[in-house]
Amino acid sequence: MSETKTSPTYAITNPATGEVEKTFDPATDEQVEAALAGAHAAYTSWKDVPIEERAKVVHRIAELFVERKDELGAIATREMGKPLSEAVGEAEFCGEIFDYFANEGPTLAADQPIKTFSGGKAMVQKLPIGALLGIMPWNYPFYQIARFAAPNLMLGNTIVLKHAESVPGSALAVEQIMKDAGVPEGAYVNVFATHDQIETIIADPRIAGVSLTGSERAGAVVAALAGKNLKKCVLELGGSDPYVILDTDDAKAAADTAWETRISNTGQACNSNKRMIVMDDVFDDFVARLVEQAKDLRPGDPAAEEEGTFAPLSSRKAAETLAEQVKDAVDKGATLHAGGVLGDGPAAYYSPAVLTGITKEMRAYREELFGPVAVVYKVTNDDEALELANDTQYGLGGAVFSTDTERATKIAQRLEVGMSNVNTPAGEGAEVPFGGVKRSGFGRELGPLGMDEFVNKRMFYVAD
């Protein structure tokens, strides 16, 4: 998946220390072939297991995520620096996702009768299509797998999972859950694949589709490979979501909610509120409160989560990239109100920041800032807010806030995004579809639409 075709290094590197704690050998070509053969063989039998029986296995997966939440949380914190309580909560949410699809799957996958005008009976059947490749990111090492794997295991598809190179421990922990839950051998298999092997897997006729969550660049490469090989693909890529404050009765509370949203997962969420667009009469108080939240924070152990501390980013490279983007903005006239300090290496600390005065000449205007930087824009009317909200190559999510719900709804209805919210940072839950438009990708995960992607929507007609 890179022009240089370099092989990735699968390693646990603790971002709080920069120490490489364990490395893993990449898969051999023989192991990749075994994974493909196993996934295809498992599909031929798993697809014929009644969906109610598949649901029992998926329920057990849900139970194991909850039973092992503390163990899983510790793994994620060690590998990518996620605050421990958030990592444990992520594992719990995975349980909810698997339970949702186990409970709702039989209904969501049921035959759908079609009204016909020529006699006979017609219906749309939702059938599995085969083995799928999942290419998953590091920022939510369990949740990203869950929202891909849960609906597809329910449908009867099988999965070859290629996780991010920086979270091999999370990848292996999930694979163990699948085995312990009774997923048939081969129906879910983890591979530490190289870039060349990923290309080989996508091209293999035994793979029916590919889902990727990651960068735009990776998405473009995978989409091209999928298209070349006539494979269905789903892409969830970057985001620079607008977060519009039209008015508020309490600027402090509004800022607190915005700040809590922005620093969740240390700012490393695709649908985080990366562009706060605030009306001029609220702007000063809103920014002042953000600065209060950001100042005097110190680096801390993400496993301890002591008050007044912040967690590291996922890697030193991620922290350095964010620092470069913020420096570019400041050098071109933006105001850094608080934070924005890159800690000493090899650890990956970057202090949460508040940034205003962003203009179109700055990288921060167009690029996604994947870390704890609150970027705030001042606007003077609703039309200006909407124009700025939509002036982005991304289209993942967005939120609009107002004491007048009708006013907020009017703007939210016009956001060019896949997920639009009124008076909440995000509508979330296993039942709520997730996905975007524009350069944020295409396809949906979670909710009813999550079982509507890698499926043969077969028309079945019986004449009178």
Q: What is the 3-state secondary structure (H, E, C) of the chain?
A: CCCCCCCCCEEEEECCCCEEEEEECCCCHHHHHHHHHHHHHHHHHHCCCCHHHHHHHHHHHHHHHHHCHHHHHHHHHHHHCCCHHHHHHHHHHHHHHHHHHHHHHHHHCCCEEECCCCCCEEEEEEECCCEEEEECCCCCCCHHHHHHHHHHHHHCCEEEEECCCCCHHHHHHHHHHHHHHCCCCCCEEECCCCHHHHHHHHHCCCEEEEEEECCHHHHHHHHHHHHHCCCEEEEECCCCCEEEECCCCCHHHHHHHHHHHHHHHHHCCCCCCCEEEEEHHHHHHHHHHHHHHHCCCEECCCCCCCCCEECCCCCHHHHHHHHHHHHHHHHCCCEEEECCCECCCCCCCECCEEEECCCCCCHHHHCCCCCCEEEEEEECCHHHHHHHHHCCCEECEEEEECCCHHHHHHHHCCCCCCEEEECCCCCCCCCCCECCEECCEECCECCHHHHCCCCEEEEEEECC
Q: 175, 199, 236, 368: which one is catalytic? A: 236
The angle that helices 51-67 and 84-108 make with each other, rounded to 10 degrees, is 170
Q: 86, 90, 270, 445: which one is catalytic? A: 270
Give catalytic status of residue 236 as yes or no. Answer: yes
- Using CA atoms, how far residue 223 sits from 68, 218, 464, in Å, is 35, 8, 43
Per-residue confidence (pLDDT) for residue 1, from 0 to 100: 43
Per-residue confidence (pLDDT) for residue 6, from 0 to 100: 54
Per-residue confidence (pLDDT) for residue 361, from 0 to 100: 98
Per-residue confidence (pLDDT) for residue 170, from 0 to 100: 98
CA 282 to chain centre: 31
Per-residue confidence (pLDDT) for residue 28, from 0 to 100: 97
CA 202 to chain centre: 21
User: Tens digits of per-residue pLDDT, 223-276?
Assistant: 999 999 999 999 999 999 999 999 999 999 999 999 999 999 999 999 999 999
Per-residue confidence (pLDDT) for residue 3, from 0 to 100: 40
Whether residue 346 is preceded by a cis peptide bond, meaning omega within 30 degrees of 0, is yes
- Using CA atoms, how far residue 81 sits from 6, 15, 47, in Å, is 26, 6, 38
Per-residue confidence (pLDDT) for residue 4, from 0 to 100: 41
Per-residue confidence (pLDDT) for residue 119, from 0 to 100: 87
Low-confidence residues of the chain: pLDDT under 70: 1-7
What gap in Å lies between CA 457 and CA 451, rounded to an integer? 11
